[in-house]
Chains A and B, each alone.
Chain A
Amino acid sequence: MNTTIDSMELVYGKTEALTETPMHYCPGCGHGVAHKILMEVIDEMGITENTIGVAPVGCSVFAYMYMNVDMLEAAHGRASASATGIKRVLPEKFVFSYQGDGDLAAIGTAETIHTVNRGENILMVFINNGIYGMTGGQMAPTSLSGMKTSTSPYGRDCVSMGSPLKITELIANLPGAYYVTRQSVHTPAAVRKLKKAIKASFEAQKEKKGTCFVEIVSNCPSGWKMTPLEANDWMEKNMFPYYPPGDIKVPQGMK
């Protein structure tokens, strides 16, 4: 039996705040979803024309190829400093930075802490997958204890290599941090929560409340040498106990 459908209601589509450029990310990687959610919020809030993004060095170095807003590609570790420069001269615009763990929590630690400490009115998105993806799977500041990487082939030894850095809890202590939360993108429910957090961050930025910091605990199937499903499973079992998802600092009155 043939059925003819005359008209269909469009219930979901790609946001225009993403470009048509195919993303280069590995299958199962969280970056694609994180990009999409960030840009969907910007689109839905109607702030595409007033938003400037700062891309990092790392796997998401090409974020400016995918995000259909004005963007600057910063030096390694310095995204929040460059975002500060943009926001200070364009205080009425929306500014976000997007960085991975090596960028934000190793080489850029000083910039991260001082940007938040000044309470810069920006959104800092922090992708934490516990590894340097782009350079081929080296140990990151957030690599878990015992985690094997190409530069910790016998597992991360916290005595000689330091312990995985909970930078998000650290910056949450600073007065300039307004809203600090840890989210993930591995399930539909998690994605919805992330979207809410990003939206709340831009709403706070409009009110000039201070720095909003959204960590996204993510995966790295290639770097972890797992299938996408294994990676998400491993992330839940190993990353979440050390980096538990949920709000870390929520201002009074924020929904």
Chain B
Amino acid sequence: MVTLQRDETPKLMKGNEALAEAAIRANMQAYFGYPITPQSEILEYLTEEVPKRSTSVVLQAESEVASINMVYGAGSAGARVMTSSSSPGFSLMQEGISYIAASEIPCLLVNVQRGGPGLGTIQPAQGDYFQATKGGGHGDYHIIVLAPNSVQEMADFVFEGFRLAEEYRMPALILSDGAIGQMMEKVYLPKEGSLPLRQHDWAVTGKPKTRERNFITSLHMEPDKMETINLHLQDKYRKLRKEERYELFNVKDADIILVAFGLTARICNKARELAAEKGLRVGVVRPITLYPFPYDILASLAGPNRVFLTVEMNSGQMVEDVRLAVNGKSPVYFRGRMGGMIPTPEDLLLEMEALAEKHTLINQAVR
């Protein structure tokens, strides 16, 4: 994580608008999108602000399918490019994302999640964790996934997302949700121009006489060549692990460790405070990069006399990664709400009290 240069005075903004404003400040050169609730403010903000302030491209496409393929084109031409959508629309982009990942084109994607499956609901959810972190489209690939839990991070992660995408030549995704996209909070916006544009020697910009032509393709008919590409991608994903990011709260002496990302991590922190009043020793782990997932820190926290409770707004998706990390060294429980329902700190307190009872984890000092 590079330290961002931010404004000294804060603004009060919606998450979606802070993200859009940050994109302008991050010298985004092109945006292609299609309206879908609850992220349409991003397209609206950009169509209003960009013509006043820069020569960047903002285009409302005919579909998410077209949007992502426009991103593929603009990114291939070397532009700093972004698109945004919400769950059903993000599903439509998966084929294009697979091509972009295969061709190693940097771009920034945003999924302001809503409840599903199907048309679902426009209320917030975290049901696209699997899709985001395990590839999403066809073939063996991953994308960088950043999970903001505040309006501040909606803005910050635009800079971080572009930086990582360009450094590793792969798509980066800001996996948010309808609540963080819609809520208003104080935000210290990153400073305009603080993320310099890069030149890409691989881009298709017109072939000068001084070099061979550049061509960008994801097609490799010979199996040995294709596997070489696969191995190269996997090697890159291994290198990406050094970018793992997470936050820890009070984990050192915790009997119960809550694991949550995005909105639910905020709720878990409140639940941790409530639990402390009851004499429970609770810590919180918040994965910030969902890919690469911070397995090692979770593994290091696992052990006897400690239980994990993963909290998500889905039926239990990240909990699979938590179990992989914990690897049987501690019990791992799950509490989730779906359909746009949001777990409350009081819900989680009851859950933790039951776990403490079951595992006799009441703080000895208090007892």
Contacts and interface: CB of A to CB of B under 8 A. Distances in A.
B96 A89 contact: no
Interface in A176-202: none
Residue among A73, A86, A90, A110 with max Cβ neighbours from chain B (10 Å): A86
A114 B81 CA distance: 20
B213 to A, nearest CB: 5
Contact of B206 (A51, A65, A81, A111): A51
B77 A49 contact: no
Interface residues of B, number: 38
Interface size class of chain A, counting residues whose CB lies under 8 Å from the partner chain? 35 or more
A61 interface: yes
B74 interface: yes
Interface string B205-249: 111110001111111000000000000000000000000000000
Contacts of B215: 64-65, 70-73
B62 A110 contact: yes
Given A61-B219, A78-B66, A81-B73, A93 B205 contact: yes
Contact of A82 (B63, B70, B213): B70
B99 interface: yes
Given A93-B206, A110-B66, A114-B62, A71 B72 contact: no
Contacts of B214: 70-71
Chain A binding site: helix, strand, loop or mixed by DSSP? Answer: helix
Which 7 pairs of residues, A with B, have the shortest CB-CB distance? Answer: A85-B73, A82-B73, A78-B69, A85-B74, A73-B217, A85-B70, A70-B204
Nearest to A88: B57
A81 B66 contact: yes
Nearest to B72: A82
A49 B30 contact: no
Contacts of B217: 55, 64, 72-73
B213 A54 contact: no
A89 B205 CA distance: 10
A82 B79 CA distance: 13
A255 to B, nearest CB: 27
Interface string B27-57: 0011010000000000000000000000001
A110 B63 contact: yes
B318 to A, nearest CB: 30
A141 to B, nearest CB: 18
Contacts, number: 127
B66 A49 contact: no
Interface of B: 29-30, 32, 57, 59, 61-63, 65-66, 69-79, 81, 95-96, 99, 204-209, 213-219
Interface string A66-109: 00111111110010011111111110010000000000000000
Contacts of A111: 62, 65-66, 69
Contacts of B59: 84, 88
9 contacts: A19-B213, A70-B206, A73-B218, A81-B72, A85-B32, A85-B74, A85-B75, A111-B62, A111-B65
B247 to A, nearest CB: 36
Nearest to A48: B207
A90 B69 contact: no
A50 interface: yes
A121 B207 CA distance: 20
Contact of A68 (B29, B61, B213): B213
Contacts of B208: 49
Contact of B73 (A51, A69, A83, A110): A83
